[in-house]
Structures are given as structure tokens and as C-alpha cells.
């Protein structure tokens, strides 16, 4: 089997890049003849098509990347296998995607979204995102690297650290977490809430809005927004420094940071919806808040990024759910339970680690990928 893996390569710290890179790494470790290429690099992809002659070109992204992940390899007679996430609504390329023999998606919820929006479910197979469980491991609180992270953040040993990581924090449920912390602030042990966000123009206004909410709630002295550029190599230590990982995400097709937190032996608070239904087990590896509200839209405006002309309006015959909000009271209850019970945090963290190693280790995912390609496409 010869595989060309198309993703954001060389990998940036983002989720899609990590998803592709760990599959590539797993395939190489299995002895599969594989190469990696940037999904937008038409010239380099064509170069691989001509001399490497891959059996398949697997591409990581969402439906809007269809021209790069599907149409481009097809032009050169190469079989594309897209491995897709969802962003709330699949607006275009249904005909192209339905003509494929196989589509991979990251969770059962993502599959439901594609089927809901017109993609045939009989060709969609769920393949979870891999996790590097050699790097994301439990660390002792006394490990100098963990102590250094907490010191850099200004968090003393007597305080519990709650962490959320994302491109921005609000999409990962940080506003709901802050509202919950305000509810339990007087009852809870000493705490600090760290939101690690990526420094990019689109998040500046959102970060300011989040910090204003913290001020309005009266908890701003306990909320830390970390906006430095960091590498993937630092992430295990950042997660290792926290006591609770909290991310009741508003839209999540898999939940890579939640899985990485589990691999680090951390209890997770999230929402009982979307990709987290595949990755987390309520009461065992995580505590999942109920959905309080679904954000529903009747129409969307799309453009060239989705294969349409600018300002193209799509009106839905049936309104679409595009966002979720977790129940703040549930989050508050679960936070207080975990903050007051070190044994519970340890037990759930241990169970989380075991689940990730067994189900989401990148080598496990690579083996599943190879088996799926063999079973569905007859390529060995």
C-alpha cells in the first residue's frame, strides 16, 4: 500500500495538522510506504502523483477543502480518501463527495452531520484522531518542568489550576466555565483558570470580550489568558500542570485537547454532545454537562472558501443547529466536585489515560486506517 498524506505539512500546532501528522507517523512506523505533502501544494502533489504513484491520497480537512483533497488527485487518476471534520453545515460538494467510494470522518456526530446534509452514509466510516501517548503522559506535580509551567503562569502550589486550550477560548466553552466558576467561587478551594489561546487577529476581539466577562463576573483576578506562540512539544507540560481540564465546547467534531488531557491523566469537564460522546465516558473519564441550548440558524452567507461566489446565501428548508451551549449549573456542580475531591480527580485521570491508550493512540488509529482501506477499497 502506497499512501500520500495531504495536510498542513510541515505541521503547524493546529488540530488538523496534528491529525494528519500522527497518521503519517503511524503509517511509517507500520512500514507503510507513505509520504506527506501540504494539501494546497498543487505542484508538489503532482510531483508525488507522477513518480510515487500512490494507491490513495488521504486528505485531512473539512468539506470546504474538497477541491484540494478530492478534485486535484482525481485529475491525475489518483484515488482520494478525504478524512473530514464538520463545521456545523456541509454547504457544497455533495455530488463530488457522494461519488467517492470512501469518506473518513472523525466521529459519529460528524457522520450524522454529513448524512443530514446530503452525503450517503453507507460510504462514511468513522476513524478517530490519533494521540501521541508517548508524549502526552501523566507527570508528577514535583516534576521540574511542571513546576516551571506553573511558576511562569504565576500559579502557586496551593491553588488548583483549571485549563482550557483552543484557537480561541469561547468556542471551547470558556465563557460557560467562567460563569460556573463565578457561581462556586466562595465555596471552592483556591483556584486559577488558564485559557491558552493562539495569537491571531481573529481572536483578539473575542479574548477582550472574554476578559470583560471575567471582570463583570468578579473573577478577573483568577483568570489568566495566555496568548504566546507555543509548540506541540510544550503542550504535554501545559496540560500536565493543570488539575482539571475544562472544555464544554460549543462545536467539536472530535475533541483532541480533551483526549490529550485524558492521556495526561487529567479529569475532563465537557458537554454531553458531538464528538465527546465518542471520546469521553461520563462518570468514568469525564463529567459531561447537559446541553442547555442549541444555536439554530435559518440561513448562512458563504463565499469562495466554500466553492460559491461571494455573499452567496443558503436558506435552509429545515433550520440547522450550528452551535451548542453547555448547562452552566452542571459545569459548576462538576467543577466543585472535582475541586474538592483529589481522589476523584486521580481516579478519573487514570481511567482517561487507559481509555486513550487503548482507543486513540496514533498507532491504533493507523492500524485501523490500513484495515479500513483494505476492507473498503481492496488495497493492501
What is residue 203's predicted lDDT score, i.e. its pLDDT? 78
How would residue 122 be classed by pLDDT, with cut points 50, 70 and 90? very high
Give the other-Cβ count within 10 Å of 200's Cβ: 11
> What residue ranges define each of the domains in the chain, with the CATH number in brackets?
2-130+361-377 (3.40.50.2000), 144-290+327-359 (3.40.50.2000)
**CA 22 from centroid of its chain's CA atoms:** 13
**The three three-digit cell numbers of residue 62, written as one number:** 473539512
Interatomic CA distance for residues 188 and 316, integer angstroms: 45
% of the chain surpassing 70 pLDDT:
100
Answer with the residue of higher pLDDT: 243 or 303. Answer: 243
| Prediction pTM value | 0.93
H or E element that contains 125: strand 124-126
Quick: pLDDT tens for 333-357: 999 999 999 999 999 999 999 999 9
The pLDDT tens digits for 294-329 are 988 888 787 777 777 888 888 887 788 888 999 999
- Mean pLDDT rounded to a whole number for the chain: 94
Block residue for cell numbers 496551593: 158
Other CB atoms within 10 A of residue 370 CB: 18
Q: What is the pLDDT of residues 166-211, one digit of tens each?
A: 989 999 999 999 999 999 999 999 999 999 998 777 778 888 999 9
Asked if 131 and 345 count as a contact pair (C-beta separation under 8 A), the reply is no
Burial of 6 (0-12, 13-18, 19+ CB in 10 A): buried
**Residue 346 cell numbers, joined:** 486521580
Strand partners, 361: 131
- State which H helix or E strand residue 358 sits in: helix 342-359
Helices (H), 42-184: 42-51, 66, 72-75, 94-98, 108-116, 144-153, 174-184
Return d(Cα 231, Cα 14) in angstroms, integer.
Answer: 10
Which phi and psi (to 5°) does residue 20 adopt?
Answer: -70, -40
Amino acid at each position: 500500500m502506497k499512501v500520500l498524506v495531504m495536510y498542513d505539512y510541515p505541521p503547524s500546532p493546529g488540530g488538523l495538522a496534528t491529525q494528519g501528522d500522527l497518521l503519517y507517523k503511524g503509517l511509517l512506523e507500520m512500514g507503510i510506504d507513505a509520504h506527506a505533502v501540504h494539501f494546497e501544494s498543487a505542484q508538489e502533489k503532482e510531483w508525488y502523483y507522477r513518480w510515487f504513484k500512490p494507491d490513495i491520497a488521504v486528505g485531512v480537512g473539512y468539506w470546504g477543502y474538497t477541491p484540494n483533497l478530492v478534485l486535484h488527485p482525481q485529475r491525475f487518476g489518483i484515488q482520494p480518501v478525504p478524512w473530514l471534520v464538520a463545521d456545523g453545515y456541509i454547504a457544497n460538494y455533495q455530488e463530488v463527495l457522494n461519488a467517492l467510494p470512501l469518506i473518513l470522518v472523525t466521529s459519529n456526530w460528524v457522520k450524522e452531520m454529513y448524512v443530514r446534509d446530503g452525503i450517503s452514509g453507507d460510504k462514511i466510516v468513522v476513524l478517530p484522531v490519533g494521540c501521541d501517548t508517548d508524549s502526552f503522559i501523566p507527570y508528577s506535580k514535583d516534576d521540574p518542568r511542571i513546576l516551571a509551567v506553573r511558576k511562569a503562569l504565576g500559579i502557586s502550589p496551593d491553588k488548583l489550576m483549571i485549563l482550557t486550550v483552543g484557537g480561541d477560548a469561547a468556542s471551547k466553552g470558556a465563557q460557560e466555565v467562567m460563569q460556573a466558576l463565578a457561581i462556586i467561587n466562595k465555596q471552592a478551594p483556591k483556584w486559577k483558570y488558564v485559557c491558552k489561546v493562539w495569537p491571531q487577529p481573529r481572536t483578539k476581539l473575542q479574548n477582550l470580550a472574554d476578559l470583560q466577562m471575567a471582570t463583570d463576573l468578579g473573577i478577573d483576578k483568577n483568570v489568566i489568558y495566555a496568548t504566546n506562540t507555543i509548540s506541540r512539544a510544550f503542550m504535554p507540560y501545559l496540560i500536565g500542570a493543570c488539575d482539571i481540564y475544562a472544555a464544554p465546547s460549543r462545536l467539536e467534531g472530535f475533541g483532541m485537547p480533551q483526549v490529550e488531557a485524558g492521556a495526561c491523566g487529567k479529569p475532563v469537564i465537557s458537554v454531553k454532545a458531538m464528538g465527546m460522546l465518542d471520546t469521553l465516558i461520563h462518570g468514568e473519564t469525564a463529567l459531561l454537562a447537559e446541553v442547555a441550548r442549541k444555536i439554530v440558524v435559518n440561513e448562512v452567507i458563504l463565499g469562495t472558501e466554500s466553492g460559491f461566489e461571494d455573499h452567496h446565501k443558503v436558506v435552509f428548508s429545515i433550520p440547522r443547529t450550528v452551535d451548542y451551549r453547555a448547562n452552566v449549573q452542571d459545569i459548576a456542580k462538576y467543577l466543585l466536585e472535582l475541586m474538592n475531591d483529589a481522589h476523584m480527580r486521580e481516579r478519573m485521570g487514570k481511567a482517561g489515560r487507559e481509555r486513550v491508550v487503548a482507543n486513540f493512540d496514533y498507532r491504533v488509529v493507523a492500524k485501523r486506517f490500513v484495515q479500513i482501506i483494505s476492507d473498503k477499497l481492496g488495497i493492501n
